């Protein structure tokens, strides 16, 4: 009788531990999904802000709005971005600041944006990002020619 009680007690304890661990794993997965949803929104906003800046051309009003949008997006990115995304963003900002008085290099911009997207994909879904990288996919971006 004592052995039966001991077996039942151990069984109940094991079930409680397994349920607690499963709940903990579920909470972690839920938190990761929530964080990734927020990061995806910020990363998308960053690419949209860069596109707006490219599309603003030589219109000072549109350029000012695009710069403000980019600045606000960068503030949010600084809070949630992965190391790779932050480094790529720094490269992008350095490029944008460097080319003001020089010849615009669309290939360099394209390479920086590709690296930024790769880093964002690595952050959000590493296994899928690895498959895309192995396929050697180059991402395409619309960047109209700059007016001088």
- DSSP letters for 57-119: TT-HHHHHHHHHHHHHHHHHHHHH--HHHHHHHHHHHHHHHHGGGS---HHHHHHHHHHHHHH
Q: In which domain, by residue range, is 66 found?
A: 35-134
In a domain, 139, yes or no: no
pLDDT of residue 69 exceeding 80: yes
In a domain, 4, yes or no: no
In a domain, 78, yes or no: yes
Q: Phi/psi of residue 43, each to 5°?
A: -65, -40
pLDDT at 58: 82
In a domain, 19, yes or no: no
Find out whether 120 and 43 touch, Cβ atoms under 8 Å: yes
pLDDT of residue 146 exceeding 60: no
State the pTM of this model. 0.78
């Amino acid at each position: 009788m004592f052995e039966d009680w001991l077996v039942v007690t151990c069984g109940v304890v094991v079930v409680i531990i397994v349920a607690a661990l499963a709940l903990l794993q579920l909470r972690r997965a839920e938190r990761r999904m929530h964080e990734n949803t927020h990061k995806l929104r910020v990363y998308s906003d960053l690419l949209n802000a860069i596109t707006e800046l490219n599309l603003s051309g030589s219109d000072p009003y549109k350029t000012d709005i695009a710069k403000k949008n980019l600045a606000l997006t960068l503030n949010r990115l600084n809070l949630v971005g992965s190391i790779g995304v932050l480094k790529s963003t720094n490269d992008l900002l350095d490029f944008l600041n460097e080319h003001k008085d020089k010849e615009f290099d669309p290939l360099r911009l394209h390479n920086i944006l590709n690296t930024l997207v790769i880093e964002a994909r690595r952050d959000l879904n590493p296994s899928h990002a690895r498959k895309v990288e192995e396929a050697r996919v180059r991402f395409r971006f619309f960047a109209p020619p700059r007016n001088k």
